[in-house]
Amino acid sequence: MQILLANAKIMFDKSATMPKTVPIFQKTAELLAHEMSLMDIDYAAQQLGCNRKLAAKNILRYHNFLSACRMPAIMAYNGQAYKHLKAETLNKDSLDFARNHLWITCFLYGILRPLDGIVPYRMEHNVRLDITGNKPIYQYWKDKLTDILIDSVKTDDNTLLHLSTAEYEHLFDWQRVCREVNVIQPMFYIRKGNELKVQAVWSKTCRGAMTRFILENKITDADSLYAFSYKGFEYDPHIGEPAFPHFIRNDEM
C-alpha cells in the first residue's frame, strides 16, 4: 500500500543531521526556485497569495535555495497533520517503512519521499512562471508525476491510500489514477445529532495520526486501517463503503 499525504505551508527553519535522500525532481525545483528568486516583492505577494513581508521572506529563501540547510521532508513541515504525525519521534524501523510507502505532495518539488532533503519554501498551486509555460504550476507537474505515482502503486499491491487533499489531486491525472489503481480515501466526520459534519482541523489531525499509525504498525493492507482510532474517532462499519471508510467522532466527546 502506498500512502499519499499533502505537505503543509508552515515549515521549520532548521536542519537535521540524519542522512537524507535527494528528491526525484531536485533539479526542477532548483529551476523553479531560481525564477521565484527573481520576482519583485509585489508580484511575488500576488502569486503566493500573501502579504509583502511574507513574500520578501520567501524571495530570500529562494535566493538561498542551494545553500540552505535541509531537513527530511517528513520532519520539515509543521502543519496540523504533521503535529499529529510527530515524525521526529518515529523509530528507525518506522522511517525505513515510510521510505518505501509514503509520498508527500507539494507544488515546488512535485512529489517527495519522506527522507528527501528539502529547504523551507512557499509555493501555491496557481503560481505561473516562464518555466511552466505561464500555466498554473499544478498543470506543469501533471505529466511528470502521474506515471511515477501509478507505477509505484502497481509495483506495490495496487492500493493507494489517499490522505492528501483535493487540491493536490490536480498534480496528477487523477481520473487516470482512479482508473488504474485502487484508491482508498478515509473520511473523518464529527457526528452532531443525526448529521455528519467535516471539520478541516480534525480531518488534517486524523490524516497525520493515521499516517503515524500505519508507519508504526507497518500496515500494508487496507482492512487493517479499521483498527485506527484517535481522539475519539473510530471506524464505523455501518456507513461509507470500502473505498471511503468512515471514521466518526461523536460531538459530545
Is the full-model pTM beyond 0.85? Answer: yes
- E-only strand ranges, 135-206: 159-163, 182-184, 187-192, 195-197
Whether the per-residue pLDDT at 253 is higher than 80: the answer is no
Q: Which tens digit of pLDDT belongs to each residue from 110-120? A: 999 999 999 99
Q: Which tens digit of pLDDT belongs to each residue from 96-107? A: 999 999 999 999
Q: Which of 135, 108, 102, 117 is nearest to 207 (CA)?
A: 102
Class of residue 201 by CB neighbours under 10 A (exposed 0-12, middle 13-18, buried 19+)? exposed
Q: Which tens digit of pLDDT belongs to each residue from 137-173? A: 999 999 999 999 999 999 999 999 999 999 999 999 9
Mean pLDDT, the chain, integer? 95
Q: Of all helices (H) and strands (E), which one includes residue 103?
A: strand 102-106
**Angstrom distance (rounded) from CA 75 to CA 212:** 12
pLDDT of amino acid 252: 65
**Angstrom distance (rounded) from CA 5 to CA 62:** 24
Q: Which residues pair with 189 in a beta bridge?
A: 248
Whether the per-residue pLDDT at 20 is higher than 80: the answer is yes
Q: Which tens digit of pLDDT belongs to each residue from 185-231? A: 999 999 988 899 999 999 999 999 999 999 999 999 999 999 999 99
- Is the separation of the CB atoms in 233 and 201 below 8 Å? no
pLDDT of amino acid 183: 98
Average pLDDT over residues 17-26: 92
Integer angstrom CA distances of residue 200 from 4, 81, 140, 161, 189: 17, 11, 28, 19, 10
